[in-house]
Amino acid sequence: MTVGERVKAVRYMLNIKQKEFALAIKVTQSAISQIENGTVSISSDTLTNISSTYNVNINWLLTGQGSMFIGENTNNKDAMNEDIQRTNEKLMQKILNLEKDIAELEAKEKEATKELLDAYRKIAQYFERKPTESPA
């Protein structure tokens, strides 16, 4: 998972759109889009703003190591596993719904949708790990 994909994963976990996310961390929606798509690298200021605004672990954003959020209670592994499972189930349902809709799209739309599905799958794969497992 890239830094951009992890930024997108944070937004999905927080259930907020790019525009709202961008406003909160003092960048443009376009900048978030470019970061998430890997077009531009994330700046240290943006990393700091994401971390301070949403309590996100900078090390996780950069490397995928550790917890997504600072101060996550790792002592309650069963509750965390249940939360991850519920989130993953929702994500998998979204993937299934999108796959059904792909057949009705034109070529350009299909390619864009496939890219989105790939990003969803990567997020789902992240959540399939148990909190006690280290990232691959």
Query: What is the reported pLDDT for 5?
Result: 93
Query: What is the reported pLDDT for 134?
Result: 52
pTM of the predicted model over 0.85? no
Q: What is the CATH number of domain 3-63?
A: 1.10.260.40
- pLDDT tens by residue, 14-24: 999 999 999 99
- pLDDT tens by residue, 82-99: 667 777 777 878 887 877
Query: What is the reported pLDDT for 117?
Result: 83
**81 pLDDT higher than 80:** no
The residue type of 84 is I
Query: What is the reported pLDDT for 45?
Result: 92
Residue scoring higher pLDDT (127 or 29):
29
Rounded to 5°, the CA angle 97-126-85 comes to 65
